[in-house]
Structure 1
Amino acid sequence: SQDGKIGIVLSPFWVEPYDVNSHADKEAVERALDYYLGWHLDPLIFGDYPKAIKRNAGKRLPSFTRKQTEMIRNSFDFIGINYYSARYVTRQLQSDPSRLRFTTDQHVEYK
């Protein structure tokens, strides 16, 4: 045994609500963080993707089997976060349903 450690390092944007008094913008912050942090961390910590991602991506998002969930949950020794910048976000009022992807699934507009 070499006593190695396994971890993950993420480089997400930090986000803040464009309008601090807007409930919709605060929800946009939660969705953006789910996509930029939760997409990678939630499976490792909880064994599944964040609810917002599952809801918005639907059948396009693969699901974990019970065995995969058991294998991946808590399978790390450390988490690293590289932080470079922050952005403001607001709720995206419209998205093009013909352009389904990571960025449009968030329903977030970056300012």
Structure 2
Amino acid sequence: MAGLAVLLALVSTLTKLVTGYYAARRAGIAPAGRARAGIALIPRGEFNIVIAGLAVAAGTHPDLGPLAATYVLILAAFGPLAARLIQPLVTAIAERA
């Protein structure tokens, strides 16, 4: 389950980054703000834990609960770290440009 949870976390992190970047670009935000918008989405919107809880409670798929819990835990831990590390990256990119 851990490997699958990591894969799901990577895919959802990438899609959240792209979504935040795209939405911020459409709103006219500068590139640094676009990156921050994408990073801010990483630990958010994990409604799947509720769905997984319902599936486990119904007895349909008992492995779904641990998978969802691991996935959410990965994103909850990585989100604040990414937010902390994005500023030096944005500064370095701005200096190169």
TM-score of the two chains, using structure 2 as the length reference: 0.28
Higher relative contact order (CA 8 A, sep 6+): 1
Q: Give the helix-richer structure, 1 or 2.
A: 2
Return the TM-score normalized by structure 1: 0.25
Q: Which has the higher strand share?
A: 1
